Structure 1
């Protein structure tokens, strides 16, 4: 009361102009206190993604005006309600993406793309601290090889290619690849870009894609080691080759890339087995069928190392035992049975304790068999492996 009184007396002594100055100053202070600043962090939107078991899409926390000015879609709140979760889509040819997270979709998604016009996207760095991208194929359906024979050369009818500074280059991908992912190295220069290209041949009503593109900071723990096209974390998971288990189709030709697994604390080895196969089973299954004919044209069973000269997977230092000394036996595996014993007719588990954990996929540009100009009539779907880490 004494303060208000003093203010009232002072106001009466100095006149109305003094009161107006006080009110103006109070309005300025009030407006300053109402400016809420928040970080443009990733957020979980209220917009559901595509694919089996899809969760809500990821967005960026922005103001409403920032989101709309950048062409984003408002999809829920963030920053305690002061911001909006903004989801970005690129659906047209020659679209350029500069956001920390965005979704590349075919025109008219979720309807199929029925035209033949190529679609090209450019991904530019959000800032100089970005060194890599992760592409998650939430939906990915384009034409594959188109038959049950392993054909010659790069036989993809539709083609998805990625051009960047990645070394080695990223192989051409086609067919059915929902749930797959790849990492793209962007290089260190702020002007480095990645170009993602779709090219088509023939008519179909299955072309559809929804690819999440996430930019990765150079110092982020999510950035994979050099040379890893795919990177898995956690204690267990599943690895499949591209276009695996597509109806009446084969594994892709001309593939050479590394699939890496981050070693978790307290774990020294990783163990692999063919998906859905009980160790000891003698029934060939499509979970492991790669290079199903040997160099002489004979049906391949469980082949390893020097017997795998055409298409194979390589697991450095692998053995049936989890030998923590680092010593291993076989490295290459092919045929229709996953087993380190040549011509084995049963599945087994394969273990390696060689760090870093890495699996190499290699397929050539020719069909398997004695005469490599003739398609291999024995289907090679590729491989599906379940893996889990073993404690020290």
Structure 2
């Protein structure tokens, strides 16, 4: 009997050794892929009810402001070569160059069974020539992720990019079908790049890189269309890392234009730590970073909501929802609603377009941040901004009508317009916070209610100003009647981290009553304000 046991043990060890051979690993993995996919779906109990099976159709509109570095956390998009043997890193004598952590017990006798189960050796991984499989069904009786201290090769929902450029997640084919996704391209270990899209109101998102598209039928009014983004580290699709930020990319975004700066159609975000302004109009190519509590500590539901009260305007959107893990290097800094991570690019206020007419939105108050990039192998020491070129009658910089059109009587009791003060005023820039009229008896607002704050910005002559408004980007002070200049210039700031603050109040009407401290000065009515479009360059 003892001889039989010894022979049986030797035979079993030989079979396990052959199963771990790197040369035939790919064949072994392929033979068991179908069974692994089935178990993967069944083990977690995915529920596809909230997902729509319609395929995502690319809009063909590139997002030029952000090249997608946050999608670089997968092995597919990294610069390192991918090992042919996907299980080699789990064994101590691997030649992949990866560090073996003894604490993870990747080949310690105490965790030998765990490692063999996780890598699927007992799940039909013996060579096809040998039909003796005493542990064929043993792996089906244990969860896929037995040891949470290392990455199981069939457990992640990593980012991927399809051949057509769409963002998705790497999952087994059957899991993609369960979520109503569209397979497009392939990932390692036989997974597919799954493109996920929701085209309904009232749905729920739990997967990274999901697209929320407007319904295929026309949006009725009045109506509300909302989507819930659910973050919980206990969800299988979020098990790998807790989520701390959501990035929204507006692949396309068209709703009704504002009325006197106030949105009638509204897009709002609820349930987040960030204060997100209400926006509307045309915002294709824009993006937002939204801070949320760590999903590993506090499960959170964030609501994205459109509200359409009246009207027949076109309403259409396609919003990419990316869930960013805590501690990732590509998270936006605290307090930044927008974050640009290239040395050059373009930044626009929401609803700015190269067309004629008023476009500025009321009640905007947010920070735009820029990562300090390498320029000529050195970290940038300044960031320069200039107005972008327009070809279709748009205005690249128009924030608040210059204050020189506003004067009052000696008692500050009324406001009137003085023709001498109006000349050329609409094309001038404003800087600072306040200015007085010619008599010196009336305080009038310049960049007090609507402005773009660029700390430390100065022109080529060293003239410096922090607040900019009016119709030109220029720090020149000018006179009380015409406070500023008639042309825009390049302004640069040496202050790092590079950041701008955009602020508008809740009205475009004239302010004729002072109520300090909230309304400290008179202001004229704003006309045809567009917001801003600036090109930036780090140097």
What TM-score do the two structures reach when normalised by structure 1?
Answer: 0.79
CA contact (8 A) 1:293 1:369 kept: no
**SS in structure 2 of the partner of residue 118 of structure 1:** strand
Match of 2:328 among 177, 196, 220: 220
Alpha-carbon distance change, 339 to 93 in structure 1, aligned in 2, over 3 angstroms:
same
CA contact (8 A) 2:509 2:526 kept: no
- 1:103 aligned residue: 211
Alignment RMSD (CA, Å): 3.0
Alpha-carbon distance change, 37 to 355 in structure 1, aligned in 2, over 3 angstroms:
closer
2:454 aligned with 1:315: yes
Matches within 5 A, 1:131-146: 131-146=244-259
Matches within 5 A, 1:345-364: 345-364=486-505
Pairwise CA distance, 1:157: 1.2
Bigger RCO (CA 8 Å, 6+ sep) = 1
Match of 1:286 among 382, 389, 395: 395
What TM-score do the two structures reach when normalised by structure 2?
Answer: 0.58
Pairwise CA distance, 1:321: 4.1
CA contact (8 A) 2:221 2:310 kept: no
The runs of at least 4 aligned residues of structure 1 exceeding 6 Å deviation read: 372-375
Distance in 1 (alpha carbons) for counterparts of 2:168 and 2:525: 46
How many pairs are equivalent? 340
2:388 aligned with 1:388: no
- 1:124 aligned residue: 230
Matches within 5 A, 1:149-298: 150-151=260-261, 155-167=262-274, 169-188=275-294, 189-245=297-353, 248-265=357-374, 266-276=379-389, 286-294=395-403, 296=406
**SS in structure 2 of the partner of residue 361 of structure 1:** strand
- 1:45 aligned residue: 162
Match of 2:432 among 305, 315, 334: 305
Unaligned 5+ runs, structure 1: 1-6, 8-21, 49-55, 278-283
**SS in structure 1 of the partner of residue 132 of structure 2:** helix
Deviations 1:207-237 (A, max 9, x none): 0000000011111111011110000011101
CA contact (8 A) 1:164 1:184 kept: no
Distance in 2 (alpha carbons) for counterparts of 1:237 and 1:114: 37
Pairwise CA distance, 1:175: 0.4
Pairwise CA distance, 1:362: 0.4
Distance in 1 (alpha carbons) for counterparts of 2:252 and 2:304: 15
Distance in 2 (alpha carbons) for counterparts of 1:316 and 1:240: 18
Distance in 2 (alpha carbons) for counterparts of 1:99 and 1:262: 27
Distance in 1 (alpha carbons) for counterparts of 2:191 and 2:510: 61
Deviations 1:27-53 (A, max 9, x none): 868x99xx994443211124x5xxxxx
- Structure 1 or 2, whichever has the larger Rg, is 2
Structure with a larger share of its residues in strand: 1
- 1:62 aligned residue: 171
